[in-house]
Structure 1
Amino acid sequence: MRKMFLIVVALLSMATAAVAQDSAPSGEIVISMANDPTSLYLPRAADTAAYNAALPLYDTLVGRNEKQEIIPSLAESWERSEDGKQYTFKLRHDVMFQNGEKFTADAVVETWIAGKDPSNLYPQLYSFASKVEAVDDYTVKISTESPQVLFLSKLLQWGIVAPTYMRQVGIEEFEKKPVGSGPFRLVERVSGDRIVMEANPDYWRKGYPKLARVTFRIIPDSSTRLAAIQTGEIDIANRLSADDVATLKDVSTVKVISYQNDSLYYVGFKNVGNGVGTPLENVKVRQALNYAVNRQGIIDAIFNGGASLVSGFLLASDLGYDNAIQPYPYDPEKAKALLAEAGYEKGFSISIGCPTDAYLNINEVCLAIQRDLSAVGVDATVEFKTSNSYWSEKAYGSVGPMYVDGWASGSGEALDRLQGALDPTGFYNTWVDTKLSDQINTLAATFDRDARAKLYKDLQKYMYDNPPFIYLYTQMIFEAVNSKVEGYSPTSTELINLTDISISK
């Protein structure tokens, strides 16, 4: 899920290394999406598809360069107080919103106020700031109750909104017709079919964007996406399998790219909502279910080897990863024994939510999990839901006590992923464990990198022994791109920087 994710929004304001020529935007690109985005308002953008569709509409205070360093964007400079609890930003003077409003400190304040509204999916990405105040038109001060290790990275989530317009129409109407200062502005959205944008003629980065028009096409079926890239109907086909792209090797008009995905896929457990009183509250049951799922079998049969096992909620590339902790082995007999020790020798019945077509091969993955659980006596019913339904309710309220999802980070460490999935105040949190929450909070306030690495190792061990999830896999991403597309460079979190893309003539 977005789920993302969270530094991914850096692309909203990523600076380009080369100086662009001041020429008019030209050309159109058509990009496929596996599911219909939940929203074009960032605090309600539930997954990668929604983020990719929303990103072009907004700018952020800071950005990231290709070396993943924080750089200026709408904020030209900033200073941090000695206690680390206050940042003062100096803002650009030459930025206009797509409706003609001028960008000032008031926009940052209104973005924070609207963003932390509890009706949003991710209010905690804004409410971590205890106060946002306009010092003058082009100076804004942001305060927190305690120092935040990833403070600037968190601001990559803040797509700055047109403040007067937001106050006039409110969040619900803004969501339908969003207005930011980004490189593209919304032309139309046809639910379940397409989202169309055009270049912002008043964009403050001279020479950008390069494209005149962007269309996102909603195409859930991967075989349809594959056919569309071959006929030239679309220019970028994402979330393809290794088998899919193998069929493109002789298609001269298409190039294939692959990269390691930062998303970690898992089966979530609930001990809140409809998870209260279920067998999942017993740690031996949760361990048993980790032993019960043949994840390597899923990787081999469904992904043709294009995925890797994970041992927990940290990836091997994350700070503090402990490679001494190995993935749960597939051991159905061990699973049965643990279930018996927990008092469930005859198994039990439960339901598992699955976001239909939202991730590569996810439908098949859900059914494979169902079969594996059945083999150890757990009668699991799979509830398939559209992405809009799946991610619409707090704590995955539209589905039962178990659910399948994925979460990215992209910052080189797992804190964003941990907070996103396990923060008790978060919209999607389904597992409450005071010790786990305390460990995550300590991480968030520990600035020393070596000390933070040690905390991650301790956390990884605790989450292995007391799993809030069935840890599944991370996968390779395969995409097909029309050869006329230039400047396309997605991140490991599948985010697209449309500002730099062009179409060759």
Structure 2
Amino acid sequence: MKICARFFLGLSGLILLGASGIAQAETVLRVGLSSDPDQLDPATSRSYTGRFVFNALCDRLVDIDAHLDIVPGLATQWSWSADNKALTLRLRQGVVFHDGEKFDAAAVKYNIERDLTLPGSTRKSEISSVSSVEVVDPYTVVLHLKNPDAALLSQLTDRAGAMLAPGATAKGNVAAHPVCSGPYQFDSRVQQDRIVLTKFNQYWNPKPYHFDRVVFLPVPDASVRLANLRAGDLDLIDWVSASDVGTVTSDSHLTLAKPTPLGYMSVVFNIGNGQNKPTSPLAADARVRQAFSLGIDRQALNQVVFAGQYTPANQPFTDASPYHVPLPIPSRDVAKAKALLASAGVTSPLHVTMVVPNEPVAQQVAQVIQSMEAEAGFDVSLQMTEHATLLSRLSSGDFQLALSSWSGRPDPDGDIYSFISSHGALNDGRYSNEQVDKWLLAARQINNQDQRKALYTNVVRQLQIDMPVAYLYFEPRIFAISAKVKGFVPYPDALLRLADVTLSQ
């Protein structure tokens, strides 16, 4: 089976005339994605693959390097006030958006305020500490905070710090045609087929960017994605299946990149989301959710689906993080699961429906869980759905439980606050615990690592009791790359960075 990427083979052979009149071949990088991105609006986007596109399309206020240290982006310098309640950003001059509009402090104010007030914004809880934005001069802006926020700079390295052109954004359909200031500008999109970006000739730092076009092609099936890479129809693919790692490493025409994982896969329980509050035993009683978690053998899941290459999880903090809580991974305990169901007054089997992305690996994970849970007292029906649709259903509360992944963030706040806080924009199950909220907020307000870890330890231990989310494993986002691609560096956030990447013929 070949995807429509063959359409783009001709693009790499297009002939253009350079300034000297000498014919030049247009260079095209073709990237195979594991799913079609959702909305191309940084304020409302939720998908991991959408972040691939934003990395090429939208400059951010700050960025991270390969060691997760924060480095300049559109902000060249920053400083905190003595009480850590004001962040001053000095902005890069000479930057323009893709439509020619000037980037300045007013643009920063517009974007931050939009993230905070736009209905449906999934950035709102990430930067909820911001109380106001002050334009000091054309290239100086101050973010005034309600309280100190140790995670704020880290949040600005991602979509919360992505800058859209205010004029075009205010009057246009952002998701259909985003206007940013990155090295590549939006050209076109065919849903479920391709997203095309073209080089932005007025970019403030053009030298590291070598492609005339970047084409993103969603191919949900991992085996098809790899087959198209091996056939030369793609140049780089994300998320190689663990079972295909050997195939990639044995192919002299391919290379493998496996960054340290920050992301995780989980099962989210709908506790209180939806027009009518869920009334299922899963929503009503934590013992039922604990029983579901105990029905899963995480070690066996890792071996069966991932050939032992993934790491079982019981929390959002990978064991490479200084904030990892040293709690043993729970062993599968069918007898205890059944006892918990009985104590909750549930007659087995309990019929539940789990929403699952229509990706082969996710389906395999769900099927293994389905089989395990059948022995623990649950009759699990699986609903396979396209990834963007799944995200929409999560937001609206149209689910009982769902398989949900997160690609991970450099700061621990980015891996837990939005998902667990009562006011978190990504808290799809509407879990709410006042004490947990206090711990999470306190962890945002403290810079001391030991004190923050103590607070996150409290949260993780409480989550084992309340079980709003059953964490399954940490997932390395493994890349496979054509040997023709040079200069690709995998970052721990598992995103595609195109600076200094080239393609030999």
Q: Which residue of 2 aligns with 1:312?
A: 315
Kept after mapping to 2: 8 A contact 1:347/1:379: yes
Cα distance change on mapping 1:249 and 1:142 into 2, 3 Å? closer
CA distance in 1, matches of 2:54, 2:259: 23
Q: Percent identity?
A: 26
Deviation at 1:318, TM superposition (A): 2.2
Cα distance change on mapping 1:453 and 1:488 into 2, 3 Å? same
Kept after mapping to 1: 8 A contact 2:260/2:492: yes
CA distance in 2, matches of 1:258, 1:138: 39
Q: C-alpha offsets along residues 62-92 of structure 1, whole Å, 9 cap, x if unaligned?
A: 2223332222221222232111111222222
Query: Runs of at least 4 residues of structure 1 off by over 4 A?
Result: none
Where do residues 371-382 of structure 1 align in structure 2 (5 Å cutoff)?
Answer: 371-382=371-382
Kept after mapping to 1: 8 A contact 2:267/2:403: yes
Q: Which residue of 1 aligns with 2:409?
A: 410
Deviation at 1:208, TM superposition (A): 3.0
CA distance in 1, matches of 2:259, 2:206: 31
Cα distance change on mapping 1:408 and 1:217 into 2, 3 Å? closer
CA distance in 2, matches of 1:26, 1:95: 25
Q: Which residue of 2 aligns with 1:136?
A: 137
Q: C-alpha offsets along residues 434-470 of structure 1, whole Å, 9 cap, x if unaligned?
A: 2222211111112222111222222222222332222
Q: Which residue of 1 aligns with 2:422?
A: 424
Q: C-alpha offsets along residues 403-440 of structure 1, whole Å, 9 cap, x if unaligned?
A: 111223331x5221111211322333111222222211
Where do residues 43-442 of structure 1 align in structure 2 (5 Å cutoff)?
Answer: 43-116=43-116, 117-156=118-157, 157-169=160-172, 173-273=173-273, 276-280=278-282, 281-323=284-326, 325-357=327-359, 361-393=361-393, 395=395, 397-398=397-398, 400-411=399-410, 413-429=411-427, 430=429, 431-442=431-442
CA distance in 1, matches of 2:421, 2:490: 28
Kept after mapping to 2: 8 A contact 1:149/1:446: yes
CA distance in 2, matches of 1:250, 1:70: 36
Kept after mapping to 2: 8 A contact 1:243/1:304: yes
Kept after mapping to 2: 8 A contact 1:312/1:327: no
Kept after mapping to 1: 8 A contact 2:34/2:218: yes
Cα distance change on mapping 1:75 and 1:259 into 2, 3 Å? closer
Letter in 2 for 1:294: D
Letter in 2 for 1:268: V
Q: Which residue of 1 aligns with 2:39?
A: 39
Deviation at 1:294, TM superposition (A): 2.0
Larger displacement relative to structure 2 (484-493 or 119-128): 119-128
CA distance in 2, matches of 1:393, 1:428: 12
Q: Which residue of 1 aligns with 2:3?
A: none
Q: C-alpha offsets along residues 44-65 of structure 1, whole Å, 9 cap, x if unaligned?
A: 2212111111221111222223
Gaps of 5+ in 1: 1-23
Kept after mapping to 2: 8 A contact 1:75/1:89: yes
Kept after mapping to 2: 8 A contact 1:185/1:197: yes
Deviation at 1:394, TM superposition (A): 5.6
CA distance in 1, matches of 2:503, 2:102: 31
Gaps of 5+ in 2: 1-23
Cα distance change on mapping 1:88 and 1:257 into 2, 3 Å? closer
Cα distance change on mapping 1:149 and 1:96 into 2, 3 Å? same
CA distance in 2, matches of 1:485, 1:271: 46
Kept after mapping to 2: 8 A contact 1:407/1:421: no
Deviation at 1:311, TM superposition (A): 2.6
* 3-state secondary structure, aligned to 1:131: strand
Q: C-alpha offsets along residues 317-374 of structure 1, whole Å, 9 cap, x if unaligned?
A: 2223232x111101111111111122124342221111221xx711111122122222
* 3-state secondary structure, aligned to 2:345: coil
Kept after mapping to 2: 8 A contact 1:286/1:467: yes
* 3-state secondary structure, aligned to 1:298: helix
Kept after mapping to 2: 8 A contact 1:124/1:425: yes
Cα distance change on mapping 1:329 and 1:271 into 2, 3 Å? same
Kept after mapping to 1: 8 A contact 2:75/2:89: yes
TM-score, scaled relative to structure 2 = 0.89
CA distance in 2, matches of 1:250, 1:406: 29
CA distance in 1, matches of 2:258, 2:349: 41
Cα distance change on mapping 1:312 and 1:168 into 2, 3 Å? closer
Deviation at 1:25, TM superposition (A): 11
CA distance in 2, matches of 1:480, 1:60: 26
CA distance in 1, matches of 2:70, 2:285: 43
Letter in 2 for 1:380: V
Letter in 2 for 1:136: D
Letter in 1 for 2:416: L
CA distance in 2, matches of 1:424, 1:500: 42
Kept after mapping to 2: 8 A contact 1:44/1:122: yes
Q: Which residue of 2 aligns with 1:503?
A: 503
Q: C-alpha offsets along residues 234-289 of structure 1, whole Å, 9 cap, x if unaligned?
A: 01122222322322444322122233421111111121125632212322222211
CA distance in 2, matches of 1:415, 1:41: 22
CA distance in 2, matches of 1:250, 1:68: 31
Deviation at 1:379, TM superposition (A): 1.7
Kept after mapping to 2: 8 A contact 1:409/1:415: no
Letter in 2 for 1:48: Y
Deviation at 1:203, TM superposition (A): 0.8
Q: C-alpha offsets along residues 176-215 of structure 1, whole Å, 9 cap, x if unaligned?
A: 1111110101111111111111111111014131222111
Cα distance change on mapping 1:43 and 1:230 into 2, 3 Å? same
CA distance in 2, matches of 1:493, 1:454: 24
CA distance in 2, matches of 1:245, 1:164: 46
* 3-state secondary structure, aligned to 2:197: strand
